[in-house]
Amino acid sequence: MKKYFFILCFITCFSGLFAQNQDSIWVVNNYTKMEVMIPMRDGVRLFTAIYLPRDKSEKHPILMDRTPYSCSPYGTARWKKFWNSYTMAYLREGYIMVTQDVRGRWMSEGEFVDIRPFNPDKKGKNDIDEASDTYDAIDWLIKNIPGNSGKAGVYGISYPGFYSTMAAASGHPALVAVSPQAPVTNWFIGDDFHRNGTFFLLDAFSFYPAMGAGFGLPRPLPTTKRPATVDVPDHDNYKFFLETGTLQSFARLAGDSVKFWKDLYAHPDYDEWWQARDARNATRTLKPAMLWVGGHFDAEDNWGAWNAYKAAEENNPGKEFNKLVMGPWYHTQWAGKDGTHLGNIHFGSNTSLWYQQNIEIPFFQYFLKGKGSIDKIAEANIFITGSNEWKNFDKWPPAGKTDRKIYFTEGGKLSWNKPSAADSYSEYLNDPSKPVPYTEDVHYNRTREYMTDDQRFADRRPDVLSFKTEVLAEDVTLTGAITAELFTAISGTDADFVVKLIDVFPDNLSYNTVDIYDENDAQNAYPMGGYQMLVHGEIFRGKYRNSFEKPEAFLPGKTETVKFHAGDVAHTFRKGHRIMIQIQSSWFPLADRNPQKFLNIYQASESDFQKATIKILHNSQNASNIVLPVLR
């Protein structure tokens, strides 16, 4: 079997390389590249790479990507490899492709500011933001690039998704279509570096001073060189982050050169500084057609796609084209070639290619070239995992869903019926010196597969509570936001609460294998019987239970309510499966450790960390529950 597998791999790789080579030759023969410094209204110039079609028989639209990650390769003789991506389709259609280093990054002039606040009240040439920079860039392109059609579009993933949102707010009349994809939207509530006020230490430290990213290090002059980064000697991230210790220790390790790292420490709560950096502020009066895109299993910016779309809906009533696409993807997977699976979970088709061919390309073709149709693009185009099918909805969440409470009960059970016991609870001891890991494996970088990982390792820990239903007699489909309502009493003055929604597979399933392998090839198989698939997980820092702006201490032993939005989902629990909820108080090293003592955690010392007993009450008066959006 393996012999034929390797032969097939060779044939596939050879044919793929041949096709790419043919495409690259076509691009070089049919396009030219130019590099320009485009002036902004305040005199700062932004480095821009422009790929121009040689064809003069028609006018060509502009499709732009503004990025802090470099529009390399630099030099007119070196080309971005469009032929390795579905974006080759845009070149075949004659688009003018533009990439730009944002202000203060790489070869662009000026000062870089992370998630620069949107300014809706610009008065003079020195009042700039990312929206004004986009306006000025598009204006220059329209006026100076020969053969353009007068229409422009912008798209980008992750941080470039943030710049896409800002582009949409620019108001330039030539900008007719924008697609923010996994857009960075709010770095305190739900994207990248925080979840509900909980610092996501692993991603933040990896992105800024360490682990090869080195983002945010000083760049006094335009350059094509990457900065040096902090060396991490230990490739077991659980061990490294635990032994490094407090956030003060990480601050010393990072040094004083990364401005935004210091900003994170200087603003521990959701103050005006953070509120000004909420990209949803820029979603009012959006003129272009909008296509928001994200992934259910995006470990970085899942929150932004859902919630920026919702804000745009609320802020632009009656807007004709403001659409949402959510697929079963890890971060950026929809832009890749393989959307068939994530980790051990398979989706039944190549969802990435389906999206590219049926949603994104038709979107830009229609609005930028007037070709084709957008009739098949619904208001909400949502892939339902579990049942592995695309569904179209007239709104999100769908009108057909009903919010139902599912209650924790004695014996680790979940029930649709409210508990009747007068005094019932479950408890665990959370020890910051032995935090619950986010995955059972040893890793250097944060994995993307943890978003669908088997949770049996956590189920076996004494500091994790598991509640599950009986075997389902029929399918249960969830479409919408989950809300956790926990009634708790803790022995300390603060605690974190992790809520994980899990699909428990039947015990009698066989091994799951990569399709090309023989099912009996155990070396490449994973035991799926009893698999506990993480559908969605969310963490909440307890001191923010009443306000993100004004944290409050818990009174030890007093019953308190911790209620929070635990994310949007679109998943079917199949007949024969079970629904499980796990509760824990650490998720390491994704999230920093809570000392379980009310204080500014960025200033905590080793002596502040203490064990705490966490009680989750499930009685008639204090019935802890999860609100599930059940589709009728």
CATH of residue 515's domain is 2.60.120.260
Going by C-alpha positions, the residue among 475, 445, 460 that lies closest to residue 590 is 445
CB 279 within 8 A of CB 161: no
pLDDT band at residue 517 using 50, 70 and 90 as cut-offs: very low
Going by C-alpha positions, the residue among 177, 179, 183, 178 that lies closest to residue 161 is 183
Separation between Cα atoms, residue 444 and residue 448, nearest integer Å: 12
pLDDT band at residue 337 using 50, 70 and 90 as cut-offs: very high
Per-residue model confidence as pLDDT tens digits over 13-67: 545 555 678 889 999 999 999 999 999 999 999 999 999 999 999 999 999 999 9
DSSP line for 525-550? EEE-TT-EEEEEEEEEEGGGSS-SSS
Q: Which residues pair with 198 in a beta bridge?
A: 195
18-27, 76-85, 193-202, 508-517, range with the lowest pLDDT: 508-517
Mean pLDDT of the region 124-133: 97
Domain with 211, as residue range(s), is 194-275
* pLDDT at position 625 over 80: yes
* pLDDT at position 487 over 90: yes
* pLDDT at position 519 over 50: no
Which pLDDT belongs to residue 356? 98
Which pLDDT belongs to residue 522? 52
Separation between Cα atoms, residue 75 and residue 591, nearest integer Å: 41
Shared-domain flag, residues 584 and 444 = yes
Which pLDDT belongs to residue 512? 67
Which pLDDT belongs to residue 390? 98
Shared-domain flag, residues 386 and 474 = no
Tokens for 490, please give them: 């803790």
Domain end call among 341, 370, 393: 393
How many other C-beta atoms lie within 10 A of the C-beta of residue 610?
Answer: 15
**Position 471, amino acid:** V
pLDDT band at residue 156 using 50, 70 and 90 as cut-offs: very high
Per-residue model confidence as pLDDT tens digits over 347-358: 999 999 999 999
Domain end call among 370, 393, 416: 393
Q: How many distinct structural domains can be found in the chain?
A: 3
Which pLDDT belongs to residue 520? 47
Tell me the CATH number at 264. Answer: 1.10.3020
Which pLDDT belongs to residue 400? 93
Shared-domain flag, residues 39 and 146 = yes
Shared-domain flag, residues 594 and 446 = yes
Q: Which residues contact 2 (CB under 8 A, 6 or more apart)?
A: 521
Q: Which residues pair with 612 in a beta bridge?
A: 430
Mean pLDDT of the chain: 93
Shared-domain flag, residues 340 and 388 = yes
Shared-domain flag, residues 593 and 616 = yes
Beta strands in 352-510 (DSSP E): 380-384, 389-393, 401-409, 413-415, 425-430, 465-468, 476-490, 496-504
What's this model's pTM, rounded to 2 decimal places? 0.94
Which pLDDT belongs to residue 6? 44
Per-residue model confidence as pLDDT tens digits over 167-188: 999 999 999 999 999 999 999 9
Tell me the CATH number at 63. Answer: 3.40.50.1820
With a pLDDT cut of 90, the percent of the chain lying above it is 87
* pLDDT at position 10 over 80: no
Which pLDDT belongs to residue 632? 86
* pLDDT at position 516 over 70: no
Shared-domain flag, residues 138 and 226 = no
Domain end call among 275, 297, 323: 275
Which pLDDT belongs to residue 514? 40
* pLDDT at position 560 over 80: yes
Which pLDDT belongs to residue 511? 74
Shared-domain flag, residues 173 and 314 = yes
Shared-domain flag, residues 51 and 109 = yes
Mean pLDDT of the region 302-314: 98
* pLDDT at position 375 over 70: yes
* pLDDT at position 327 over 80: yes
Shared-domain flag, residues 317 and 357 = yes
pLDDT band at residue 5 using 50, 70 and 90 as cut-offs: very low
Shared-domain flag, residues 578 and 454 = yes
Shared-domain flag, residues 464 and 483 = yes
Per-residue model confidence as pLDDT tens digits over 187-212: 999 999 999 999 999 999 988 876 45
* pLDDT at position 276 over 50: yes
CA distances from 191 to 52, 305, 367, 605 (A): 35, 10, 30, 27
Which pLDDT belongs to residue 215? 80
How many other C-beta atoms lie within 10 A of the C-beta of residue 234?
Answer: 12
Which pLDDT belongs to residue 213? 54
CB 617 within 8 A of CB 488: yes
